[in-house]
Amino acid sequence: MAKSPVNQLLYDGLQVLQHRGQDAAGIVTGEGNTFHMHKANGLVRDVFRTRDMRNLLGNMGIAHVRYPTAGSASSSAEAQPFYVNSPFGIVLGHNGNLTNTEQLQEDLFRQDLRHVNTSSDSEVLLNVLAHELQENVSNHRLDPAAVFAAVAGVHRRCRGAYAVVAMIAGYGLIAFRDPFGIRPLVIGYCDTEQGREYLVASESVALDVLGFKMLRDVAPGEAILVDVEGNFHSQQCAASASLNPCIFEYVYLARPDSVIDGVSVYESRLRMGESLAEKIRTDFGHLKIDVVIPIPDTSRPSALQLANALGVPYREGFIKNRYIGRTFIMPGQAMRKKSVRQKLNAIGIEFQGKNVLLVDDSIVRGTTSQQIVQMAREAGATQVFFASAAPPVRYPNVYGIDMPTLQELLATGRNDEQIAREIGADALIYQNLDALERAVRMANPAIACFDTSCFDGRYITGDITPEYLAKIEHARNTPRPSGDSSSSKQLDLNLAREE
């Protein structure tokens, strides 16, 4: 067990990874056999006050920020981590999305005799883990073999994407990743005078900022266990496992200073810009581009490298209000539309009388793209071209990213010319999927396959049917009573520390 409290470290970790979710935040610490929890809706800085931090006692803990991808974003009941008191007392944080939640809920109720209090699949996952621990423990005593057998049971029962950290009261910390390795999970260490401490997080940037060294990524299907004495255990718990990281992490979600599955996010975005430049030279050589302007912040590396490759000036044409949240994460299309003008403002001198190439990381709904093109024209641009570092998003994402329904996706049922007209651009350049995969794989050739389902409709878990997608579409588009959190799901930070 660590010799110092972890509450401040967990808080700082959440601040570093606030970009992964802005809807709710929570921290649980472990002090002996006692858990201390505080969680609520809002940003990290608003959820935790000094009095809350003082109550988070203990030398191990987990923390989480919520990112809602469907249903209600107002239910504080679905803020994580979740807690269950049997067996032993367990808290859990989850990044991803289960795809067989309904079946698991029924099995938990009818077979496992467990009650799930919310509609969150993260609470379902917690109860599956709790049941499997109960089934595998002998004489009411935990050991690594029982923990790993329980995680193997989770892998057999749960489908979809999940990177998980959990804490067992008085015993230790568990972290594991789904057998396809869709969502990221890294582990780091820090050697102190008192011994070695471990930290697990969604992105390596948390390790850097908190003073930990990168140990490695948690492997697909693998489970990590650190007990209260500081003993480190790991074991592959899936019958078959393969690495298929979500490529959208590199396009948009992750911070550029993170390294995920051996790939520098920043380097991959530079290469996306290079391949976009090559496509422009080959297929759009007739365009007269005077200036390349990124749409801040995620697209900056791609735009910079694109401009360098084309020999065109790179300029910052939009100023971002850093106190407005990322529009992609905001719940509700009305709020998303309202926020764009509050978030960005054009610098007229960079647009006046110029043919401008705007570069963004991706186009999902097109709401932001359309308004930004209009802003560029109002600022005096002669022509406005638009480049996307990612291919057209044409399919729902079911693994934990907020793009679940076909009708919300601008590219569904439209070709490039139609999309260009929809957003008001004079020309539209999309990244090719093979070029995107190549841009990421160049940093780690060992990655044979990515989750690219939102671009090509290939769902690597093999259980996504047209009926399943239709059910998601119906649930997404059905109005719900105020306060009903049905179908709510989150993409989160998983952060934990123990010596």
**The token pair that represents 259 in the structure block:** 């390294």
CA distance 11 to 322: 20
Residue 141 is given by DSSP the state B
pLDDT attached to residue 71: 41
Strand ranges, E, within 219-346: 222-227, 232-236, 259-260, 263-264, 291-294, 318-320, 344-346
What are the CA-CA distances from residue 309 to residues 126, 260, 273, 438 (Å)?
49, 26, 8, 17
Query: Can you give the pLDDT at residue 476?
Result: 72
Output the CA–CA distances (angstroms, integers) from residue 19 to 67, 74, 281, 298, 334, in the order listed: 9, 18, 34, 11, 21
Sign of the CA dihedral with 134 first, then 139, 140, and 144 last: negative
The residues spanned by each domain of the chain are: 6-242, 264-321+340-451
Determine the Cα–Cα distance for residues 282 and 487; give it in Å rounded to an integer: 45
Give pLDDT, residue 494: 37
Question: What span, in angstroms and rounded, lies between the C-alpha atoms of 98 and 160?
Answer: 4
Neighbour-count burial of 41, counting CB atoms closer than 10 A to its CB (0-12 exposed, 13-18 middle, 19+ buried): middle
* Contact predicate 189/204, CB 8 Å: no
Instruction: Look at the block and give the residue holding tokens 């396009």.
Output: 251
As a CATH number, domain 264-321+340-451 is: 3.40.50.2020
**CATH homologous superfamily for 6-242?**
Aminohydrolase, N-terminal nucleophile (Ntn) domain (3.60.20.10)
Provide the Cα torsion 329, 334, 337, 340; round to 10°.
-60
Give me the helices (H) in 97-182, please.
101-110, 121-136, 144-157
438: helix, coil or strand?
A: helix
Is 361 marked as binding a ligand? yes
456 is in an annotated binding site: no
Integer CA distances (angstroms), 256 to 253, 260, 303, 316, in order:
9, 10, 14, 18
Rounded to whole angstroms, the Cα distance separating 349 from 347 reads 6
Output the tens digit of pLDDT for each of the chain's 499 residues: 456 899 999 999 999 999 999 899 999 999 999 999 999 999 999 999 999 999 999 999 999 999 875 444 556 778 999 999 989 999 999 999 999 999 999 998 888 888 888 888 999 999 999 999 999 998 888 999 999 999 999 999 999 999 999 999 999 999 999 999 999 999 999 999 889 999 999 999 999 999 999 999 999 999 999 999 999 999 999 999 999 999 999 999 999 999 999 999 999 999 999 999 999 999 999 999 999 999 998 999 999 999 999 999 999 999 988 776 544 445 555 555 556 777 889 999 999 999 999 999 999 989 889 999 999 999 999 999 999 999 999 999 999 887 657 888 999 999 999 999 999 999 999 999 999 999 999 999 999 999 999 999 999 999 999 999 888 887 776 655 444 433 333 333 334 433 3
> What pLDDT score was predicted for residue 1?
42
Distance CA 2, CA 190 (A): 11
The annotation status of 484 as a binding-site residue, yes or no, is no
335's CB contacts (< 8 A; 6+ apart) are: none
In this prediction, residue 498 carries a pLDDT of 39
> What pLDDT does residue 74 have?
56
User: Could you give the 3-state DSSP secondary structure of residue 24?
Assistant: strand
**pTM for this model (two decimals):** 0.90
- State the pLDDT at residue 489: 35
